[in-house]
Structure 1
């Protein structure tokens, strides 16, 4: 007689339990098997609440199915679902991720009163004149002079950076941090970058090369700039 395939695997960790759901069976089969396992292994009433992480593998669940799983696991079992992770993402989420991680290249001069807003990283080949503004949800790279306003990480990403060939801005913004122009006169020989220094709790301006020593998570595009 063939042994019944294990659809639900539960492993204990120091943070609680990890629940693996086989991704080759149907959702209804997995739900039924999980329900049976939970009903046969109910904890005692005086046991503490245990955190549960659910791993779906290559299975996609819609929001309704996720809520059903949470309710099944949480209900009367002294369990609390803290995360549900899948290797599969919805098409909408994938397209949004691509848009936000893409480098948008623009070749122009941003003049006074003009505003450029992009999702993802911005590569501007040109200058930002006084009164001009560039904004992005990611990083900003300016192959030219920055005399206006640059705002990176507009959605709250404090790890975003601002790079310019000549750094003399009216104002730098990274997430919710704001900085005025640097106190010194840039000689225009080295590209410079603005980044958030958490210890100093402010935006600092450095030579671009310092990023490799600050353990900043660089994308491939950033590494090519930094390494010449």
Structure 2
């Protein structure tokens, strides 16, 4: 009878993938991983190139201490570095955080000068952002009204976030760590056409017609029925 392998090592163009069996005990898994890594290190040359390692856990959950043990076994080989550990299982805390970050927060109000409106997920504002007012969201910002103040989308680092407004005349737009200040003619004209702001391939914030999002961010929103691009 063929023995089940608890550890499978596969080479890819991007490095190495370790597939770890999620049905065996952790101790059996750890022992086999150590043995296989040790066997491979026999053929390791002194000037071997550094290889990134992705560790696939499947439906196994590792405690932080166990994760560190697995990482240490991999790092024991001088040409291997752990790129990421991927698991289908997440903690209740992580699931709750992900739920909050993926929620759409609908608000009907006017954000006046000196006021700050903040959302952990996507923000859907039915109202205006006046000069001096600020709206902040970890996800996307949709404003069904005038944006004349400051909008900061993707504040925790989400560079795929966007800002959409019915009338886009902001004093400042920020997406993740990118900043776009208002043009010299800021506030002199109403555009009367829904526009969007996003980070382009050159790491600049671009303001364009809403229709471009159909190509750039086809799965951008979780609004029921989808978001109309016109």
Q: CA deviation at 1:94?
A: 1.8
**CA deviation after TM superposition for structure 1 residue 61, in Å:** 0.7
1:196 to 190, 194, 199: 199
The runs of at least 4 aligned residues of structure 1 exceeding 6 Å deviation read none
- Residue in 1 that maps onto 2:132: 131
The match for 2:207 is 205
**Matching residue of 1:18:** 17
Mapping of residues 213-228 of structure 1, within 5 Å: 213-214=215-216, 218-221=220-223, 224-227=226-229
Shift, 1:216, TM fit? 6.1
Q: Distance in 1 between matches of 2:182 and 2:158?
A: 19
> Counterparts of 1:50 and 1:117 in 2: how far apart (Å)?
41
CA contact (8 A) 1:124 1:143 kept: yes
How far apart are the structure 2 equivalents of 1:51 and 1:140?
Answer: 36
- Structure 1: which 5+ residue stretches go unaligned? none
Q: Aligned to 2:67, what secondary structure does the other structure show?
A: helix
SS in structure 2 at match of 1:93: helix
Q: How many residues in Structure 1 have an aligned counterpart in Structure 2?
A: 225
Structure 1 residues 171-182: aligned runs within 5 Å: 171-175=172-176, 176-180=178-182
Q: CA deviation at 1:103?
A: 1.0
User: d(CA) in 1 for partners of 2:154 and 2:53?
Assistant: 33
In structure 1, the residue corresponding to 2:223 is in which secondary structure?
A: helix
- 1:168 & 1:110 partners in 2: Cα distance? 15
Corresponding residue of 2:90: 89
d(CA) in 2 for partners of 1:170, 1:52: 45
Take 2:34 and 2:83, find their aligned partners in 1: how far apart are those partners?
18
User: Secondary structure of 2:227's match?
Assistant: helix
Match of 2:36, SS? helix
Alignment partner, residue 112 of structure 1: 113
RMSD: 2.5
Q: Are residues 1:6 and 2:10 paired?
A: no
Deviations 1:21-47 (A, max 9, x none): 110111112112222333444323525
> Could you list the runs of 5+ residues in structure 2 that have no partner in the other structure?
none
**The residue matched to 2:131 in structure 1 has which SS?**
coil
Residues 42-81 of structure 1 deviation map (CA, whole Å, 9 limit, x = unaligned): 3235251544322111101111111111212332574333
Q: 2 CA distance for matches of 1:105 and 1:209?
A: 22
C-alpha contact 1:133 1:148 (8 A) present in aligned 2: yes
- Do the aligned residues in 2 keep the contact of 1:165 with 1:192 (CA within 8 Å)? yes
Please name the residue that 1:56 is paired with. Answer: 57
Aligned-residue offset at 1:181: 5.1
Give the alignment's TM-score, normalised by structure 1.
Answer: 0.85
- 2:177 matches 1:152: no
